[in-house]
Amino acid sequence: MHRIGIIGTGDISAAYLQIARDLRLFEVAGIADLDTARAEARGTEFGVPALRPDNLLALPDLAAVVNLTPPAAHAAVSLQILGSGHHVYSEKPLAVRLEDGAEILREAARRGLRVGCAPDTFLGAGHQTARELVDAGAIGRPVAATAFMMSGGPEGWHPNPHFFYQPGAGPLFDMGPYYLTALVNLLGPVRQVGGQATRAVTERVAGHESRRGERIPVQTSTHVTAQLGFGGDVAATFIASFDAPGSDLPRMELYGTEGTLSLPDPNTFGGPLRLKRRGETAWEEITLTRPFQENARGAGLADLLDAAAQGRPHRASGDLAYHVLETMYRTLESAEAGRTLSIESAPARPAPLETRPTWLEEAAGR
Q: What is the pLDDT of residues 24-75, one digit of tens each?
A: 889 999 999 999 999 999 999 999 999 999 999 999 899 999 999 989 899 9
Q: Are residues 65 and 212 in the same domain?
A: no
pLDDT band of 184, cuts 50, 70, 90: very high
Task: Establish if 292 belongs to a structural domain.
Answer: no
Q: Are residues 158 and 96 in the same domain?
A: no
Please check whether residue 158 is in contact with residue 209, taking contact to mean a CB–CB distance below 8 angstroms. Answer: no
Q: Are residues 58 and 136 in the same domain?
A: no
So what's the pLDDT on residue 225? 98
Lowest mean pLDDT among 133-137, 160-164, 265-269: 160-164
Task: Establish if 35 belongs to a structural domain.
Answer: yes
Q: Are residues 80 and 160 in the same domain?
A: no
Q: Are residues 167 and 210 in the same domain?
A: yes
Please tell me the distance from the alpha carbon of residue 4 to that of residue 358, in angstroms, as a whole number: 19
Please tell me the distance from the alpha carbon of residue 36 to that of residue 167, in angstroms, as a whole number: 28
Task: Establish if 129 belongs to a structural domain.
Answer: yes
So what's the pLDDT on residue 25? 84
Q: What is the CATH number of the domain that holds 256?
A: 3.30.360.10
Task: Establish if 355 belongs to a structural domain.
Answer: no
Question: Domain boundary residue among 285, 315, 348?
Answer: 285
Task: Establish if 241 belongs to a structural domain.
Answer: yes
pLDDT band of 159, cuts 50, 70, 90: confident
Please check whether residue 40 is in contact with residue 31, taking contact to mean a CB–CB distance below 8 angstroms. Answer: no
Q: Are residues 255 and 161 in the same domain?
A: yes
Q: Are residues 273 and 144 in the same domain?
A: yes
Q: Are residues 79 and 56 in the same domain?
A: yes
Task: Establish if 199 belongs to a structural domain.
Answer: yes
3-class secondary structure, 193: strand
Q: Are residues 150 and 281 in the same domain?
A: yes
Structural domain harbouring 88: 3-117
pTM of the model: 0.95
Considering only CA atoms, which of 305, 299, 244, 306 is closest in space to residue 268?
299
For the chain, what is the domain count?
2
Q: What is the CATH number of the domain that holds 70?
A: 3.40.50.720
Q: Is 99 exposed, middle or buried (0-12, 13-18, 19+ CB in 10 A)?
A: exposed
Task: Establish if 168 belongs to a structural domain.
Answer: yes
Please check whether residue 117 is in contact with residue 100, taking contact to mean a CB–CB distance below 8 angstroms. Answer: no
Is 359 a residue whose pLDDT tops 80? Answer: no
Q: Are residues 247 and 145 in the same domain?
A: yes
Please check whether residue 30 is in contact with residue 59, taking contact to mean a CB–CB distance below 8 angstroms. Answer: yes
Q: Are residues 140 and 278 in the same domain?
A: yes
Q: Where are the beta strands (DSSP E) in the chain?
A: 3-7, 27-32, 50-51, 64-67, 87-90, 115-117, 142-150, 190-198, 203-205, 215-217, 223-230, 234-241, 252-256, 259-263, 274-277, 284-285, 341-342
pLDDT in tens, 79-121: 999 999 999 999 999 999 999 999 999 999 999 999 999 999 9
The total of other beta-carbon atoms located within 10 Å of residue 57's CB is 20
Is 364 a residue whose pLDDT tops 80? Answer: no
Q: Are residues 97 and 163 in the same domain?
A: no
pLDDT in tens, 8-23: 998 889 999 988 888 8
Question: Domain boundary residue among 73, 92, 117?
Answer: 117
Task: Establish if 339 belongs to a structural domain.
Answer: no
Please check whether residue 359 is in contact with residue 300, taking contact to mean a CB–CB distance below 8 angstroms. Answer: no
Question: Domain boundary residue among 71, 86, 117?
Answer: 117
So what's the pLDDT on residue 366? 62
